[in-house]
A and B are shown apart, each in its own frame.
Chain A
Amino acid sequence: MSVETSKQPSTSGTTSDELIRIEGVTKRFGDNTVLDGLDLTVRTGRHVTLIGPSGSGKTTILRLLMTLTEPDSGTITVDGQRLFPASEKELREVRKQIGMVFQQFNLFPNMSVLRNITEAPVTVLGLPKDEAEARGRELLDLVGLADKADERPTRLSGGQQQRVAVARALAMRPKVLLLDEVTSALDPELVAGVLDLLRDIARTTDITMVCVTHEMNFARDISDQVLMFDSGRVIEAGPPERIFGEPEHERTREFLGAVL
């Protein structure tokens, strides 16, 4: 099943604004096929949300795009660069275009909050330290943590840590932001702060987003396209109004009935 994430059906055959192309990707862990011949295209600036039951392969897609794992077959292209196979140098170039926010935040506990944000811009992009710090402070301001620059991440709440992680990903000015169940590890009262921040980012930037989430209201708010996953396949795709309003597939109705 092929999925286009444009708001309108593409009229021409042009694929120039295609940022992510996944073709026939299969991924197995032992006997378990988590992705089964997946095709997926994400165009520049789109916000795509992957929903579906746990273990349906959603997170694996993000991990493949971030090159944290390799597919068993199929091709993945990001920003014109084929990922598997690719040289380490090519992979590093592609990774610069992709930011990822993890379920468990994964901040570096041995660095201050500010250095978590400036580390990659300085060492990877070669930004001068003071410029990176100025920009890091701007980002901390954006995520509402301007006063925490010199704290250790472990002294922050989960919600604050996740907002730092968002700032850290944005500091690389990526074209794509991958969000992997970013609120699943948070206490309920901290979820709204993180989601509001991401809504702001979705609304005010032209960054392309691929999200895996169990927050259906969030998915409805930010998505151009929602993909329903089941057993390693996309079983239904469409704009959020349709997927949440009038789902066609029985499994989608069951799933939404259970989580909404």
Chain B
Amino acid sequence: MTWDWSAVSAFLPHFRDGLVVTLQALALGSLISFSLGLVWTLLMRTPTRWVRWPVGVVTEFVRNTPLLVQLFFLFYVLPEWGLAFSALTTGVLAIGLHYSTYTMQVYRAGIEAVPVGQWEAATALSLPARRTWCAVILPQAVRRVVPPLGNYVISMLKDTPVLMSITVLEMLGQARLFSQQHFRFTEPVTVIGVAFIVVSYLASVLLRTLERRLVR
């Protein structure tokens, strides 16, 4: 197998398109999973069983079924019920939803790690529930959840290629398309492999900086 630099340069414009899609999916997927996961966590802490129970069932179900199956369901089954999104939107929603069932556990652990004395001090000061959460508990939980959330961001990045299966042209999709059209596999696959390493390295540097700034 020979290495052909001209194939690399021919692939680059497609690679750039793919990279943009991958980064979009990662950023939006992270955003959705971070916020939805927090919503799940808070709902699981409500005193009403009729809220906790359905949330528990749904999130267990999503966590224990493959992302690929969920993608297919959202992309091929939902439109039959009249709910159709673009491929990328579907992919972002699926990744966000899937990972929210992991991040909710991270939040739960982070919240439970805040000493009970903090809740008691907030009660003793008569702080209302919302203020206790926003000013006391969550800021302390955040610094504990950043490292594990960071791991899920990397994990999410490595899961973005499954979006290819619902026709999203992220990096791997672009590489495959290019390979099929030019019969060159080594160059495009190597380029996106390196890109994955670079993106996850940059993401982990970013997260470590964030972590250091939070954990003072």
Contacts and interface: CB of A to CB of B under 8 A. Distances in A.
B33 to A, nearest CB: 24
A99 B139 contact: no
A110 B140 contact: yes
B126 interface: yes
A75 interface: no
A108 B216 CA distance: 14
Contact of B124 (A100, A104, A119, A152): A100
B124 A98 contact: yes
B131 A123 contact: yes
B123 A119 contact: no
Interface in A161-175: 168-169, 172
Given A109-B140, A110-B140, A123-B131, A102 B125 contact: no
Interface in A198-248: none
A66 interface: yes
A67 B123 contact: yes
Nearest to B122: A108
Nearest to B135: A119
Contacts of B118: 106, 108
B136 A68 contact: no
Nearest to B141: A110
A195 B140 CA distance: 30
Nearest to B129: A88
Contacts of A110: 136, 139-140
Interface residues of B, number: 17
A111 B140 CA distance: 10
B131 A99 contact: no
Contacts of A111: 135
A99 B121 CA distance: 10
Interface in B105-153: 115, 117-118, 120-121, 123-128, 131, 135-136, 139-140
Interface string A99-121: 11010101111110000000110
Contact of A102 (B117, B128, B136): B117
B45 to A, nearest CB: 16
Q: Which of B115, B121, B127 has the most CB of A within 10 A?
A: B121
Interface string B191-210: 00000000000000000000
A95 B216 contact: no
A219 B124 CA distance: 23
A95 B139 contact: no
Contacts of A102: 117, 120-121, 124
A68 B126 CA distance: 11
Shortest Cβ-Cβ A-B pairs, 3 listed: A120-B125, A106-B121, A106-B117
Interface of B: 115, 117-118, 120-121, 123-128, 131, 135-136, 139-140, 216
13 contacts: A92-B126, A95-B124, A106-B115, A106-B118, A106-B121, A107-B121, A108-B118, A108-B135, A110-B140, A119-B127, A120-B126, A123-B131, A168-B125
Given A102-B124, A108-B135, A120-B126, 12 more contacts: A66-B120, A68-B120, A102-B117, A107-B121, A108-B140, A110-B140, A119-B125, A120-B125, A123-B128, A123-B131, A172-B125, A172-B126
